[in-house]
Amino acid sequence: MPARITLTQRQARRFLLAHQKLWPPYQLQGKAGILAYIRHVNCIQFDPLNIAGHNHELVLQSRVRDFRPAMLQELLYQDRRLLDGWDKNMSIYPLEDWPFFRRQREAALRRLGSDGRPAAVILPEVRREFTTRGPLSSIDLDYNQSVDWSWAPTRLARAALESMYFWGELVIHHKVHTRRVYDLAYRHIPAALLEAPDPNPSEEAFQDWYIYRRLGGVGLLSSRGGDAWLGMGAIKAPQRAATFQRLLARGQVVEITVEGFHYPLYMRSIDQSALETVLQGGEPTPQAVILAPLDNLLWDRRLVEGLFNFNYRWEVYKPQTEREYGYYVLPILFGDRFIARFEPVRKLKTRSAQVKNWWWEPGVIQTDEMRACLQECFQRFAAFLGIDHLENTAQIMEK
């Protein structure tokens, strides 16, 4: 295997799209397709906002043909093949990855389980509640004292349950909208996984595993900083640089030089056959696809800007006066180009949704093929949302 591969920007972005199961799109189907994708990229990011679908649902609707949110709910809370957990911040990942996060759970126990923490006193009582009553959420427990917690003070009941969740004593049994209902982990995770030792015996081995895992979550990454590396604790730029040198020496990654980039990118060696398929392949029939704001493809914003000439920032947490576009804006991919972004609004009372705002990317020239693909895209999106159609789309074609 060559130590270094040189790619054009077009070749690199097409590999990235192929790795993300977006080139060609909709080759995955059903719950098997959901599992295949999440296992391929290791995790997808969760966000509680539901403006026009949750982020994790939007990720899957852009890749899995005829995806419906109920499919994911079954995999999480009935089949127990997937798990709500912490990876790239709040995430969903395969249940079989549970042992690999043991050191984070043990660190959480040391941090949150000491006698001086607010929840420590009530933990025996909380455990008895779960033993006798079954799955519970914080509103089912009468511990109303306000305690310091994360971003802001919260009820003691919530602090206790989240502490037990972070160190792995509880898992999420199901959710009522975004409210978590917990249960004891041993009731839902097989003992072989629950009791498995940490597969990475040293901190260095863990860092190598975690960085390699996150690289697979995107497809191409550099060792530079950015949102793709969020949620990794003390693993910073120096640790990433050292890890990539070790992975290169072991032949687990390949260095990629891309035209116009003044720093190297890395790809997993196991993905080289997928790259060769892209380089030798023809032109798939383009389709229009709506992406999630925290889509795996968009984790490294600078990489996306460099390869696609597309500058995307999720502005939902910015003050209105600082937004360039809108509150909840989603990108639209057509073939291997980003052609537009739009702001959807869902009206739950009337079970409808509409395009509030639309922005074409500079230089986009509409064609009959593009318009037809957009109409199909809107129909798929409406079906995903469980509505008849997406309003205001006819006006888009007139702009």
What are 320-331's pLDDT values in tens digits?
999 999 999 999
Q: Is residue 115 part of a domain?
A: no
Q: Which of 243-252, 282-291, 325-334 has the weakest average pLDDT?
A: 282-291
Range of the domain at 372: 288-396
**Mean pLDDT calculated for residue range 158-182:** 96
Name the residue among 235, 269, 239 with its Cα closest to residue 255: 269
**Mean pLDDT calculated for residue range 84-94:** 96
Under a CB-based contact definition with an 8 Å cutoff, are residues 120 and 163 in contact? no
Q: Is residue 384 part of a domain?
A: yes
- Which pLDDT belongs to residue 285? 86
Please tell me the total count of domains within the chain. 1
Token representation of residue 393: 């789309």
Q: Is residue 313 part of a domain?
A: yes
pLDDT digits (tens, 9 = 90+) for 188-201: 999 999 999 999 99
Q: What whole-number distance in Å separates Cα of residue 47 and Cα of residue 56? A: 7
Q: Is residue 138 part of a domain?
A: no
pLDDT at 394 over 90: no
- Which pLDDT belongs to residue 284? 82
How far is residue 160 CA from its own chain's centroid?
26
pTM reported for the whole predicted model: 0.96
- Which pLDDT belongs to residue 398? 66
**Mean pLDDT calculated for residue range 376-395:** 91
Confidence of residue 2 (pLDDT cuts 50, 70, 90): low
Q: Is residue 28 part of a domain?
A: no
